[in-house]
Amino acid sequence: MPKVLISDKLSPAAIEIFRTRGVETDVKTGLSPAELRAIIGAYDGLAIRSASKVTKELLEAAPNLKVVGRAGIGVDNVDIKAATAHGVVVMNTPFGNAITTAEHAIAMMFALARQLPEASASTRAGKWEKNRFMGVELTAKTLGIIGCGNIGSIVADRAVGLKMKVIAFDPFLSDKRAVELGVEKVELPELFARADFITLHTPLVDGTRYIINAAAIATMKQGVRIINCARGGLVEEAALLEGLQSGKVAGAALDVFEVEPAKENPLFALENVVCTPHLGASTAEAQENVALQVAEQMSDYLLTGAVSNAINVPAISAEDAPRVRPYMELARRLGEFAGQLTQAKDGVITHVTIEYEGAVAQLNHKPLTAAALAGLMAPMITGANMVNAPVLARERGIEVTETVHDRASEYQTLIRLTIATKTNTRSVAGTLFAGSKARLVEIKGIPVEADFSRHMLYVTNQDKPGFIGRFGATLSDAGINIATFHLGRAAAGGDAICLVSLDEPLPETVLDAVRALPLVVQATPVTF
């Protein structure tokens, strides 16, 4: 039974889902990095929000970890590169808290416009300072949205409803989508120059870090108000502080900070700053949504291999998983077979081509390619799996080509893998028999029909009389039982191949004896 650790505060709905799905679940929140490192080795899955940091060091201490599930959107607390290198799938829940976070941004905009926190504090203190709090209307004001994805789009929709003029900067916002949302697409300098309110909704990545800095603030309207419910680090706090103190920026509403938890911050001293402690996603509805979703996704992956909302691996829907899984198995086995045949003397692999024909051509082939690469590299690289295999291939300069054929094939469905090294090219092809059973049907273009079995011996020989008898005698003299025996040849008298499955591993001495037989070109044991 797979075992999951929940290390941040998640709705109890998640535990319920894990347990009913048959995933053993521990909840241990508030652990220090060292405490988490000390126990992570026992778990297959880790469910987190934003407090737990999934670092390279944590991943190094987690040999069994297969999946990290982020109950939320931002994954900047996860070292994705390191997770990928360790073969760990990272998933998030991209929609579950989007409405709630967009509503928080809108609430923050109102709070800024009407100084609600200060007015509330003053009233509760019995001051009745009616003249102190003069607000601004939102109607007809220009809202500049930076990042118009899930959350930014919902903010746009709500702001349009408030009769604001909405302008947006997002390099991936299409003209059509902008029209649908009722927003005007602009470049960033124009947004800075025109917006009365600016709200941020991008991830924190290298390209967005300090997207609001001193230079940007200098180009903004006098009296601009800035809202950040995305990530600390998008706004340079020192520059914002200066802008607020000079009056250039009339107010700022911040849910997120460069350093969190933000217990001390010079911005807190200013009365035109509204702050919340990273509450964007904190509604009962959103927390229920993300907890349910992350538990379902992680359980699906651990129990069935279905992948949804993964950041670092191609998606396989739960619906597709039963159809795709046998093909992944076939692709992986073809990769393993080819990997074991590729010998050190062949030199490094330079190119891998994966062809999909027949029924398999209709499927999402990304996970199949990843599985084939994982199989290929597994004999050479410990820990290679379908998460890290495409990266490992890229790092090693292996060019990967996927070809999807719509031509009719002799087989109803076929995957062919061709491995090129500097000195050699090898190909293997397989099909699914009876819908789910992986079978080898071609090696080096020579037809064969063989199941993948635990212990196999692959021999290439010259197609001349005498080979089969001597080969059979060598194995039987050594007391080795042949379970199945498959022969194939390119043409009479030409290159021939022989693939046998054995009941036990072939001792080195017998392998040497086979290799020494006349007509044998090479003999390679293959195990699964």
Whether residue 357 lies in the annotated active site? no
- Residue 204 or 360 having the CB closest to ligand AKG: 204
Q: 283 or 412: whose CB is closer to ligand AKG?
A: 283
Asked if 169 interacts with ligand NAI (CB under 6 A), we say yes
Six-digit token pair at 452? 């993948």
Contact with ligand NAI (CB under 6 A) among 101, 293, 418, 427: 101
Do the beta carbons of residue 370 and residue 323 sit within 8 Å?
A: no
C-beta nearest to ligand NAI: residue:
149
Nearest approach, Cβ of residue 480 and ligand AKG (Å): 59
State the minimum distance, in angstroms, from the CB of residue 169 to ligand NAI: 5
- The option from ligand AKG, ligand NAI, none interacting with 339 (CB < 5 to 8 A, set by class) reads none
Contact (Cβ atoms closer than 8 angstroms) between residue 315 and residue 368? no
Distances (CA, A) of 440 to 112, 198, 413: 67, 60, 12
The region of 167-175, 179-187, 257-265, 410-418 touching ligand NAI under the rule CB under 6 A is: 167-175
Name which of ligand NAI, ligand AKG, none residue 147 binds, using a CB cut-off of 5 to 8 Å depending on partner kind: ligand NAI
Is the bond into 447 cis (omega within 30 degrees of 0)?
no
Binding partner selected for residue 149 from ligand AKG, ligand NAI, none, CB under the kind-specific 5 to 8 Å limit? ligand NAI
From the list ligand AKG, ligand NAI, none, which binds 230 (C-beta under 5 to 8 Å, kind-based)?
ligand NAI
Residues contributing to the site for ligand AKG (CB under 6 A)? 49-50, 72-74, 97, 278, 280-282
CA angle 198, 203, 204 (to 5 degrees): 95
- Quick note: the x/- pattern for ligand NAI over 131-160, rule CB under 6 A, is ---------------xxxxxxx--------
Nearest approach in angstroms of CB 28 to ligand NAI is 23
The verdict on 256 binding ligand NAI (CB under 6 A) reads yes
Instruction: Count CB neighbours of 433 within 10 A.
Output: 17
Which of 523, 506, 329, 509 has the alpha carbon at shortest distance from 430? 329
Task: Answer yes or no whether residue 274 interacts with ligand NAI by CB under 6 A.
Answer: no
Known active-site residue 278:
yes
Report the alpha-carbon angle 476-481-484, nearest 5. 115
Name the strand (E) or helix (H) holding 487. strand 482-489
488 strand-pairing partners = 497
Q: Exposed/middle/buried for 481, CB within 10 Å: 0-12, 13-18, 19+?
A: exposed
Beta carbon of residue 72, minimum distance to ligand AKG (angstroms, whole number) = 3
| 416 interacts with, out of ligand NAI, ligand AKG, none, CB within 5 to 8 A per kind | none
Q: How far is the CB of 173 from ligand NAI (least distance, A)?
A: 7
C-alpha to C-alpha distances, 84 to 34, 87, 382, nearest whole angstrom: 22, 5, 14
User: SS3 letters for 63-98?
Assistant: CCCCEEEECCCCCCCECHHHHHHCCCEEECCCCCCH
- DSSP per-residue codes, 277-304: SS-TT-SHHHHHHHHHHHHHHHHHHHHH
**49 vs 439, which CB is nearer to ligand AKG?**
49
Q: Binds 365, which of ligand AKG, ligand NAI, none (CB < 5 to 8 A, cut-off by type)?
A: none
Closer Cβ to ligand AKG, 204 or 273, answer by number: 204
The label of the residue with tokens 């509760």 reads 124
Which residue in 231, 333, 426, 486 is the catalytic one?
231
What does the alpha-carbon distance between residue 95 and residue 302 come to, in Å, rounded to a whole number? Answer: 22
Q: Return the one option of ligand NAI, ligand AKG, none that residue 49 interacts with (CB less than 5 to 8 A, by type).
A: ligand AKG
Residue showing the smallest CB distance to ligand AKG in the complex: 72
Q: Would residue 231 show up in a list of annotated catalytic residues for this protein?
A: yes
Taking the complex as a whole, the smallest distance from the CB of residue 97 to ligand AKG amounts, in Å, to 5
Question: Which H or E run contains 512?
Answer: helix 508-515
- Residue of the chain from 202, 293, 299, 431 that contacts ligand NAI (CB under 6 A): 202
What's phi and psi for 195, nearest 5 deg? -80, 140
Contact 201, 155 (CB under 8 A): yes
Residue 45 or 152 with smaller CB distance to ligand NAI: 152
- 347 torsion bin: left (phi>0), alpha (psi -120 to 50), beta (else): left
Is residue 55 a contact point for ligand NAI (CB under 6 A)?
no
Q: Does 230 participate in binding ligand NAI (rule CB under 6 A)?
A: yes
Q: Does 172 participate in binding ligand NAI (rule CB under 6 A)?
A: yes
- Does 128 bind ligand NAI (CB under 6 A)? Our answer is no
Q: Which amino acid is at 143?
A: L
Cβ at position 495, least distance to ligand AKG in Å: 58
Contact 96, 49 (CB under 8 A): no
- Site for ligand NAI, rule CB under 6 A: 72-74, 94, 97-98, 101, 146-152, 169-172, 201-204, 207-208, 229-231, 255-256, 278, 280-281
List, by residue number, the catalytic residues: 231, 260, 278
